[in-house]
Amino acid sequence: MPTQDAVAELIEYRVVLVQSDSRRVLALDAVGGFRLPRVKIPSWTRPAHQLQRTIKMTWNVNALCLDFLPSAKESSPVAVAEVLMIEGPIKLTPIALTQIHHTELSEPQRERLLSMLTEKVNGNSSFSQVGWIDEAVAWMECVTGRKLSTKREIEQFNAGGGFALVRLHTEDDCDYWLKATGEPNTHELSITTYLSKLNTGYLPELVSTKPAWNAWLMSGEAIQIPDIPTEPFELFRLLEDVVESMAELQMKTEGASLHLLDAGAFDQGMDVFEKHSAALFDYLEEAMSLQTSTKAPRLERQRIQELHATFEEVCHRMADLHLPETIVHGDINPGNIVTGAGYCQFIDWCETYLGNPLITLQHLLLLNKVENLDVREFINRLLRRKYRDVWATNYDPQGFEQGFVYMPLVAIASTLYGRGNWLNTPERNDPHRLSYARTLARRMDRAAREPELLEALCH
């Protein structure tokens, strides 16, 4: 029996299961009329991935999520999915859309669903159309010369709003990833294409692109890291490879600032941080003033101003080191690191920045969660040395050593600033953003108190 906390973390979806040939939907013949099947999935996971798995387990239907219908806050969300295969006996009946009980869908939902089933979608994603996966499979088979094994093995990870991420498995046991992005991440295709043309090998092979879908096909030979090791030596071996691979990739982008910006990277140069530092720290002050919880300490206005002054001094000093500007991966996490090609590769470049390469190194060091503080710091010293040594062929190692002292504060500012386009929009008032900003401010406070930084700033 699930605990109360576990139940609270689940979210229930109404699911419209559409048969591709007849455009009929699978419904539950219940008292009072036909009802949509329901599934519950964890609220903190990828909805499309969990829906696909749960629909199969609950209703014996292998399906592909097409889109999510707009719904009122007080009602459960509605997912529309295409039936790929029926895996066994089912308790659902194929019916016309008009036969679904009137309380199951609102009028706007019915209208949107009807357009998905009967019309060619204009101005919206092709991925909300029934049958798009068949066209995608045909594309994969054409450019690779391989055949899909079975629709049963199509695995979906993202859907809705012009986004798609599916894994296709072929008869000769090869995998390919199909990814597409919509607004505001349409630039990821151009970034991925540019990085692939550098022939670094630090991204999965780009097999083909489909501009009409803003989609691309990648080799799936590499393997995602299931979990970051907890044993210190295993962790070090993994992160050593990650750090070395990232440094070598970044070196390939040195001197390519204009190309990266043209491809859609967001500018996070030191001059940009200095220009917007007042707005950033005003925002931190505002966020702290709105704190109501007493679980975490509240930074007062004076301390925020002190942090602002420290940050500006750090920016000046980092600029004086004349370290290169390179690509910065703004979303480094275990899910975006893959292995198996002889070195580490990196995926998911929607948060691509142009800035100081040490920002990414600092974010990589955060993956080191060894409990023993002495062992953790020893591993971090070795990783910083590895990173420095890769760059030593082109740059004075001493500049990197000095940069290591300043980079924790800069890396936190990078996370806070992100794309920078939210500062003057209503997004700044989002409660989750305000809460996260308070968390980052506290991390800045701790970073600014580090003895090594304080000593460096005295000279």
Q: In what order do the strands lie in the sheet with 326-329?
A: 266-268, 352-355, 326-329
pTM: 0.91
Calculate the dihedral angle through the C-alpha atoms of 192, 196, 201, 204, rounding to the nearest 10 degrees: 50
Same fold flag, 8-115 and 133-221: no
Pairing of strands 206-210, 175-180: unpaired
Q: How confident is the model at residue 433 (pLDDT cuts 50, 70, 90)?
A: very high
For the chain, the structural domain boundaries read 8-115, 133-221, 227-457
What percent of the chain has pLDDT above 70?
Answer: 97
In 3D space, the residue among 396, 410, 409, 397 whose CA is nearest the CA of residue 444 turns out to be 409
CATH, domain range 227-457: 3.90.1200.10
8 pLDDT exceeds 70?
no
Beta-strand runs (E) in 10-92 = 10-19, 25-30, 33-35, 38-42, 61-69, 78-86
pLDDT in tens, 248-264: 999 999 999 999 999 99
pLDDT at position 166, please? Answer: 97
| pLDDT-wise least confident of 62-66, 114-118, 207-211, 366-370 | 114-118
CATH, domain range 8-115: 3.90.79.10
9 pLDDT exceeds 90?
no
What letter does residue 148 receive in the DSSP assignment?
A: B
What residues have CB less than 8 Å from 342, skipping those under 6 apart? 201
> What three-state secondary structure class fits 450?
coil
- CATH topology for 133-221 is Phosphorylase Kinase; domain 1 (3.30.200)
CA distance 451 to 429: 34
Mean pLDDT of the chain: 93
Q: How confident is the model at residue 1 (pLDDT cuts 50, 70, 90)?
A: very low
pLDDT in tens, 323-352: 999 999 999 999 999 987 678 999 999 999
455 pLDDT exceeds 90?
yes
Beta-strand runs (E) in 315-421 = 326-329, 337-339, 345-346, 352-355
Tokens coding 14: 């109404």
pLDDT at position 163, please? Answer: 95
Provide the terminal-to-terminal Cα distance of the chain, rounded to the nearest Å: 62
pLDDT in tens, 43-95: 878 899 999 999 999 999 999 999 999 887 778 899 999 999 998 888 999 99
pLDDT at position 125, please? Answer: 57
CA distance 218 to 196: 10
